[in-house]
Structure 1
Amino acid sequence: MIIYYLLMRLRDENKTEAIFNATIQLVNEIGFSEISISKIAKKANVSAATIYIYFENKEDMLKECYLKSKRLMSDSVIKGVDNTGSTRQQFENYTRNFVEFIMKNSDYFLFIEQVSNSPLLQNWCLDESSNLFTPVFDMFENGKKQLLIKQEDANLLIMYSMLPISQLAKNHIKGQFTLDESTLNKAIQMSWDAIKA
C-alpha cells in the first residue's frame, strides 16, 4: 500500500508545467491579489488537490514559479557569452541575450517583474537566486578593475544600463515601439556610454 501511495505521489512533469504556465499567465493577467489555487487549477486543467501534491501552498508554488523563471532568464542571458572576451563585447552579448529572452519569453519576464515589484514578495529567494547572474556581475566588477566602467555598485550599473533596454523591449512587445537591429545597436551603445568610465 505504501509503495502504491508513493507512486501516486510522483510528479507528472506535464502537470507541473501546466501549473507553472497557468500561474504565470494568471499573475500577469489578474495580479497577485486576485490569484487563487482554484483559478490556477482551472486554468491548468487539474484539480486543486493536485496542486497540493506538487506544492505546500500558494506561496510555495509562486516562489517555485519565480525561481524557475529567474533560472530560465539567467540561462538565456549568459548563454554563449565568452567571459574571456572584452568587457565591452561581454556587455553587448549579455544585453542582446537579455533582449532576446524578453522577446521570446515575455510571460516569464513580466511575471519576474510582477514579483520584483510586489511589496509582499520582493524578498523571496534572494539567497537562492542571487548567484544566477554571477557571470554578469563578474563582468561589471572586472570592467571596474580595468577602469573601463564607472566605479559604482554593480547593482546600480546593471539597473542603469539594462532597465531602459528592457523597457524598449516591453514597448516593442506591446506594439508601442519598433526595436529593430539598428535601434537595438543604438540602445546598447547608449547604455554602454552611460556606464563606461
Structure 2
Amino acid sequence: MAKLQKSIDKRNALVKATIELVNNNGFHATPMSKIAKMANVSPATIYLYFENKQDLVNQTYIEVKSKYTDYAFATYNDKVSVEIGFEVIWKRIADFKLKECENAMFLAQCDNTPIIDELSRQEGTKHLQPLLDLWRRGKKEGIIKPMSDYILYAYAINPLSFLIISQKRGEFTLDKTHIEEAYQSAWNSIKVCSR
C-alpha cells in the first residue's frame, strides 16, 4: 500500500511541477529535466507515468479540466431556470479560478495556445457538457442568443481568465462587486435582449 501511495505522490509531483513550469516559462521552455528536478524525481521516472512531454501535458490538462468542471457543476441542478443555472455555474467557475489560480492559469495557457493535442482538447470539452446542455436549452427557449457555443464561451467565460491574470499581476482586484459586475456582463453578453 505504501508503495502505491509513493507512486501516486510521484505522479502528482510531476503534474504539479508541469503546471508551475508551464505557467512560468511556457510549454517550449519547460524541458523534462526541469520538470523532473522540480518534482524531485529522476528524469527516467517520468517515463514510468507518461510516454513523453506531450503526453504529460495532455494528461495534466485533462486532470485539471476535470477538477475545474467537477467544481463548476458541483452545486448545479439542471431543473432550475436557464438564468439561475448559468449564474450558479458562472460563479462556481469564478470561484474556482480565484481559489485555484495556478490551475486556472494552466488551463488558460492550454486553451489559448496549441500545446494540447486535438484528442485531449475534445476530451476537455466533454467535461463542459452540463454548460453546453444548459446553453442548448436556453437557445431552444429563446433565452440564450442562437450563437456558436465557442462564441458564447469566448464572451461569457473567457474574460474571467483575463481578470484572474490581471489580479495575479497586481493590476486589479476581483472583489465581490467586481465579481457581480463581471457576472452581469457575462450574462448580458449571451442572453437574448428583451424588447
Same fold (TM over 0.5): yes
Show CA shifts across 1:155-174 (max 9, x none): 21121111223322332233
The equivalent position to 2:185 in structure 1, one of 172, 175, 190, is 190
- Give secondary structure in 2 for the equivalent of 1:96: helix
**Unaligned ranges ≥5, structure 1:** 1-7
Q: TM-score, normalised by structure 2?
A: 0.90
Q: TM-score, normalised by structure 1?
A: 0.89
- Give 1:13's aligned residue: 8
Distance 1:20 1:46 in 2: 12
Q: Structure 2 matches for 1:151-170, cutoff 5 A?
A: 151-170=146-165
Instruction: Kindly state the Cα deviation for residue 21 of structure 1 after the two structures are TM-superposed.
Output: 0.4
Letter aligned with residue 168 of structure 1: L
Structure 1 vs Structure 2: percent identity of aligned residues? 34
Q: Structure 2 matches for 1:38-49, cutoff 5 A?
A: 38-49=33-44
- Give secondary structure in 2 for the equivalent of 1:82: coil
Letter aligned with residue 156 of structure 2: S
Distance 1:158 1:104 in 2: 21
- Give 2:141's aligned residue: 146
- Give 1:136's aligned residue: 131
**Unaligned ranges ≥5, structure 2:** none
- Give 1:32's aligned residue: 27
Q: Which has the higher mean CA deviation after the structures are superposed, 58-67 or 10-19?
A: 10-19
Letter aligned with residue 140 of structure 2: K
- Give 2:76's aligned residue: 81
The equivalent position to 1:63 in structure 2, one of 35, 58, 66, is 58
Distance 2:111 2:32 in 1: 21
Show CA shifts across 1:1-46 (max 9, x none): xxxxxxx899711111101001110111111111111111100000
- Give 1:3's aligned residue: none
Number of equivalent positions: 190
Seen in structure 2, the aligned counterparts of structure 1 residues 127 and 195 have a Cα distance that, compared at 3 Å, is: closer
Q: Which has the higher mean CA deviation after the structures are superposed, 123-132 or 52-61?
A: 123-132
Distance 2:191 2:122 in 1: 29
Instruction: Kindly state the Cα deviation for residue 69 of structure 1 after the two structures are TM-superposed.
Output: 1.0
Show CA shifts across 1:20-78 (max 9, x none): 00111011111111111111110000011111111111111111111111111111111
Distance 1:17 1:109 in 2: 17
- Give 2:175's aligned residue: 180
Runs (4+) of structure 1 exceeding 4 A deviation are 8-11
Letter aligned with residue 53 of structure 1: L
The equivalent position to 1:112 in structure 2, one of 107, 111, 124, is 107
CA RMSD of aligned residues (A): 1.9
